[in-house]
Structure 1
Amino acid sequence: MTLFNKNINWYRFSFTYLMITCGGFIQGMAMAVFLFPHSIPSGGSAGIAVLLNYWFEIPLSFALWFVNFSLLVAAIFWLGNKSAIGTMYAITVTSISVQLFESTATYPNSNVWIDLVVGSVILGIGVGLLLRQQVSNGGMGVLALIIAKYRATSPGKPLLLLNGSVFILTGSIIFWGIVIQAVISQFISTRLVDFIFRANVNPTLLLMARKALKK
């Protein structure tokens, strides 16, 4: 392998993990600041985390980390080691982000529907950044990424369908209105996921690196 190829691979690796870090951080912010204060699950794994918090008062950040890692173990075979490691990193960044915003942010009495829309848009951006790097956001996102990989489709629709069952369970235990709010949240966020996933945008950092190395 030439020095040029080694440098390009290094920039590609750095750019990928920069995007994963941004995606995980943005996802965690959307959860902790806009969705979790209203007990709105951002996805299947978040719905289970909300239930664990409701039943056992387990901190949401740890519950989210535990659920995501548990589901990821079962999917490592289909994702492959590279994607699995990236997913583990994304889950960890998301959990740290949730903990950070839970411990430092203040939550004034805000309108649940405004928070729902804003949080869903931000969530979709974060999840979309992760899936563009072939890294799952954890939980049901693992299964959605597997379906997208083997059926050559975008992951938004299977993600919406997979999360629906968890939303029904969460709503039946905590509050049925959550189901409506969660479905609306998923509809908005998965539209953003599909848009970002399909966007034909070349990484600017990689292009600049290639030009610099050619000189």
Structure 2
Amino acid sequence: MKHRIQKGALVLAGGAIQGLGMGLFLFPHFIPSGGAGGIAVLFNYLFHINMGPALWMVNFSMLVIAVKYLGKRFALWTIIGITMTSLSIDFFESHFFILNRNLVYDLVIGSVLLGTGIGLLMRQGVSNGGVGVIAFMVALGRDILPGKPLFLINCSIFFLTGAIISWKIILLAFISQWISTTVVDLICRMSFQASYTLDFRKKP
């Protein structure tokens, strides 16, 4: 029970930190936080769907694909994480506003927070949802850290986002992904053998 409470607290914290980086620093500049974030940005740009609900829908649809491979327990914890992220995004977008924004500061701070949140989730064996689920499956299958597959998958989506909205977004998204996935690997490496590899070899 103590382990579950601790894990739940870290999952909620990871989701909230990830949502803080996205909602307060990255999304105001239309910088995709990742593949799912890129699709959510497109939904927001094309259909004016709020970022929080759009991101949740994308994340949930991706998660359904991976339930069979990763197990129901993984899916449940990931749903908790992505729900917390979406609620956090809505909260920070609605209640906080930064005057005199600086693109470079927002890019760096948002990316570090994003990577920290994702790293906390993955250390607990929880994906950040979206294409992170696919990256998680690749990382488990090849017994590697999740940062590299996450980076490659996300960047392919950025080209589509940039083609529709602005090519400037591609450069910003690449920088954001480099920073955030580097942070993800740093955090995952701290307890890679203890929590990342062993927790998910067996489905419940």
Query: Is the contact made by 2:15 and 2:121 (CA closer than 8 Å) also made in structure 1?
Result: yes
Matched, 1:32 2:26: no
Query: Is the contact made by 2:123 and 2:191 (CA closer than 8 Å) also made in structure 1?
Result: no
Deviations along 1:106-161, one digit per CA (max 9) or x if unpaired, are 13231111110111111110000000011000001001111111111110000000
Residue in structure 2 matched with residue 100 of structure 1 by the alignment? 91
CA distance in 2, matches of 1:47, 1:159: 13
CA distance in 2, matches of 1:165, 1:200: 29
Cα displacement (A) at 1:200: 3.5
RMSD: 1.3
Larger Rg: 1
CA distance in 1, matches of 2:120, 2:72: 19
Residue in structure 2 matched with residue 22 of structure 1 by the alignment? 13
Question: Aligned to 1:128, which of 113, 119, 124?
Answer: 119
Written as runs of structure 1 = structure 2, the 5 A alignment for 1:112-191 is 112-191=103-182
Superposition TM-score, scaled by structure 2 size? 0.92
Cα displacement (A) at 1:165: 1.2
Query: Is the contact made by 1:134 and 1:145 (CA closer than 8 Å) also made in structure 2?
Result: no
Matched, 1:83 2:74: yes
CA distance in 2, matches of 1:168, 1:199: 32
- Specify the code of the residue in structure 1 equivalent to 2:4: F
Q: Secondary structure at the match of 1:185?
A: helix
Which sits farther off after the overlay, 92-101 or 142-151? 142-151
CA distance in 2, matches of 1:120, 1:56: 26
Q: Secondary structure at the match of 1:14?
A: helix
CA distance in 2, matches of 1:108, 1:72: 36
Q: Secondary structure at the match of 1:25?
A: helix
CA distance in 1, matches of 2:153, 2:41: 17
Superposition TM-score, scaled by structure 1 size? 0.88
Question: Aligned to 1:55, which of 46, 53, 57?
Answer: 46
CA distance in 2, matches of 1:128, 1:184: 17
CA distance in 2, matches of 1:111, 1:131: 30
Q: Secondary structure at the match of 1:47?
A: helix
Q: Which runs of 4+ in 1 moved over 6 A?
A: none
- Specify the code of the residue in structure 1 equivalent to 2:24: V
CA distance in 2, matches of 1:12, 1:177: 44
